[in-house]
Structure 1
Amino acid sequence: MPHAARFLENPFQLHITFDLAATYLFAVTGALAAISKRYDFVGVLVLAFVTGLGGALLRDGLFLQFGPPAVVTDGRYLVAVALGAATGVFFGKRLHRFQIPFLLADAVALGTYGVVGANKSIAAGLPMLTALLVGAVNAVGGGLLRDLLVHDVPLVFRPGEFYALAAMAGEVVFIGLTRGAGLPGTLSALIAIAAAFAVRILSVWLGWRTEALSGEDGTGER
């Protein structure tokens, strides 16, 4: 336990670049989702904002509130959202199919926000299992709000390829490398993000699927 205590008392802080990168990438997916629904410029900006910052706002507002969330007090987050929206518009006007760029951006952002959320939770002194939960909320929150706003079934709720499980796999790798192996935070984060990305992409590519829990009629209704 002494090793765990030292880890909690002196947590490293991941560079803000990780948080900004996840914000940017999720904003890209929000913009692409808006364009695929033929929204106007305002709709693109709103969906990019909600998707880019939604997970962080849920993380800080529900679990780690120490005053106004950093995502609304630090202008760099709004810049990341604006750049993400612009990137989505740029590619959205040039791509006939959004599935692959959407999947790639979403998978990287998923792993990154999961790691960031877990790290911030550990820095706040939360237990490991709680840190995993907060990281998962951070990872899936923006995508959940995005899908709800465009009237799609959220990816996290759909039976099929791993989504929240991919984020949590990355978090487990991150905590294991920092606590168990004693690797530096940045290196551990990069490896963990790559692991989450790999789980998410491989689940799509290889058809790894979760099963629906259906009712007697196969629709979920009894």
Structure 2
Amino acid sequence: MPEMIQSLLQAMRFQEGRQAVLEQPQFQVPFLLDYLAVFLWAVSGAIVGMHKRYDFAGVLVVAILASTGGRLIRDGIFLQQTPPVLSNPVYIPLIIMAVALVGLFRRRIAQMALVDRVVNVIDGIGVPAFAIVGLQLSLQAGIPLPGVVVVGVANGVGGGVLRDLLVGDAPAALRPGTIFVSGVILICILFLVLTLGFGVSKEWAAWGMIVLFFTIRMLSIRYNWRTRPVLQGPSVRDE
């Protein structure tokens, strides 16, 4: 009986902490970072579509999914609300501009190592920022904490996953490589621990997690820190 009472008290304290977090001002992605991230992710998606020899419409669809796919998954599947790509009049013209730019300078852009470097930097900042936005929205929707983490991760990496699936590739985010999805999972959990467990403001916790993920991501690229497959050797398809 005392253990049951203690569990109930802990649950009540958690709910109070969750309510206190919801009453705090929401972390907002700076609009310049938002638009720059959408533009550059659209450029990366357009390059992938171009390499697959798609026509303009096909390249545009790949670019849309690459740049806004995480939010499409978050809002269309989990939260069931209108995605920003449909409600914000800026996104679609911005993506069309990115596709047109890639089409106009396709030979130069496809061979520019600078594009990959810039996209890596934007990934390092934008992915955790949008993951945290997904965490906040799913908390507001009353989703249990494990589901909150799922929504946050999907919001952060969903665009790249949808892009790769659409063009018939295994998602790069799910293959062994430099630290990416595992880093997103880590910062999502830490954000919830800091805000719900220790009462840290969402703004401070969000920027702290962005800095942490950016540092991990850049160091993993610089020093080639790589994840390993769970099962070593050739895949079943290769045998």
| 1:176–1:164 Cα change, 3 Å | same
Structure 1 equivalent of residue 49 of structure 2: 34
Residue 195 of structure 2 corresponds to residue 182 of structure 1:
no
| 1:87–1:164 Cα change, 3 Å | farther
Whether the 8 Å contact between 1:11 and 1:122 is mirrored in structure 2 is: no
**Count of residue pairs brought into register by the alignment:** 217
Whether the 8 Å contact between 2:124 and 2:213 is mirrored in structure 1 is: yes
| 1:23–1:123 Cα change, 3 Å | farther
Whether the 8 Å contact between 2:24 and 2:202 is mirrored in structure 1 is: no
What is the SS of the residue equivalent to 1:125? coil
- Greater Cα radius of gyration, structure 1 or 2: 2
Task: Give the deviation of 1:148 after TM superposition.
Answer: 2.1
Give aligned-pair identity as a percent: 33
Structure 2 equivalent of residue 44 of structure 1: 59
Whether the 8 Å contact between 2:132 and 2:152 is mirrored in structure 1 is: yes
Structure 2 equivalent of residue 13 of structure 1: 26
CA distance in 1, matches of 2:38, 2:65: 10
Whether the 8 Å contact between 2:17 and 2:199 is mirrored in structure 1 is: no
What is the SS of the residue equivalent to 2:90? helix
Task: Give the deviation of 1:184 after TM superposition.
Answer: 4.9
- Specify the code of the residue in structure 1 equivalent to 2:66: T
What is the SS of the residue equivalent to 2:230? coil
Structure having the larger proportion of residues in helix: 2
> Which is further off, 143-152 or 172-181?
172-181
Structure 1 unaligned segments of length 5 or more: list them: none
CA distance in 1, matches of 2:107, 2:212: 31
| 1:107–1:184 Cα change, 3 Å | closer
Whether the 8 Å contact between 1:29 and 1:106 is mirrored in structure 2 is: no
Task: Give the deviation of 1:87 after TM superposition.
Answer: 5.8
1:29-56 Cα distance to aligned partner (Å, 9 max, x none): 2123234445443333221111112111
Task: Give the deviation of 1:138 after TM superposition.
Answer: 1.3
What is the SS of the residue equivalent to 2:168? coil
CA distance in 2, matches of 1:153, 1:94: 26
Whether the 8 Å contact between 2:74 and 2:151 is mirrored in structure 1 is: yes
What is the SS of the residue equivalent to 1:212? coil
| 1:52–1:123 Cα change, 3 Å | same
1:129-173 Cα distance to aligned partner (Å, 9 max, x none): 321111111112110111123333211221122221122233234
Residue 92 of structure 2 corresponds to residue 74 of structure 1:
no
Task: Give the deviation of 1:61 after TM superposition.
Answer: 1.7
- Specify the code of the residue in structure 1 equivalent to 2:132: V
- Specify the code of the residue in structure 2 equivalent to 1:141: G
Under a length normalisation based on structure 1, what TM-score does the superposition of the two structures give?
Answer: 0.80
CA RMSD of aligned residues (A): 2.9
CA distance in 1, matches of 2:161, 2:46: 14
| 1:87–1:103 Cα change, 3 Å | farther
Structure 2 equivalent of residue 195 of structure 1: 212
Whether the 8 Å contact between 2:45 and 2:62 is mirrored in structure 1 is: yes
1:172-211 Cα distance to aligned partner (Å, 9 max, x none): 34334444252352x4333322322222222222222222
What is the SS of the residue equivalent to 2:231? coil
